[in-house]
Amino acid sequence: MISHGFVSGAMFLSIGVLYDRMHSREIADYGGVVNRMPKFAAFFVLFSMANAGLPATSGFVGEFMVILGATQYNFWIGMLAATALILGAAYSLWMTKRVIFGAVTNHHVAELTDMNGREFGLFLVLAIAVIAMGLYPAPFTDTMQTSVADLLQHVAVSKLP
């Protein structure tokens, strides 16, 4: 959940930065953003890859733990979770390709300016958190271990007389 907060927050911040400059939420209005905003594009791609579950990002740790737990419960539920992961990753890659890469397709994109210092600082903090959690998740998983074990013990007890 912590990873989801960082990655989703970063993705929403990315959309906010683009919307602030273009005043459009349509994917078709973008294209070739990397040509005008290279720093922004690098962060956007990182967060899209974390959203897709790329190893060494916090998204991978969360997705791996969900699929592992689902597979231990039931193989077919694990397969369903893995399929959902693949579909989500495919959409993230498709969206990133259309918004960030390619030739500039809109005259408004040609007028974009890259991130300012405040935006760069916010993105940098989120990027460090996403990569740090992906490389060394133990502090987060160890902290939650006790409460998850208590929850599982509580759920395992039958409430029927």
Q: Write out pLDDT tens, residues 77-107.
A: 999 999 999 999 999 999 999 999 988 888 8
pLDDT at 62: 85
CA distance 100 to 113: 14
Total Cβ atoms within 10 A of residue 9: 15
Over residues 29-48, mean pLDDT: 94
pTM equals 0.85
pLDDT at 108: 87
Over residues 129-146, mean pLDDT: 88
Please check whether residue 52 is in contact with residue 88, taking contact to mean a CB–CB distance below 8 angstroms.
Answer: yes
pLDDT at 3: 84
Reported as a pLDDT band with limits 50, 70 and 90, residue 115 is very high
Residue in the structure block whose two tokens are 């500039």: 104
pLDDT at 90: 95
pLDDT at 68: 92
What is the torsion angle, in degrees rounded to the nearest 10, for the CA atoms of residue 62, residue 67, residue 70 and residue 72?
A: -110
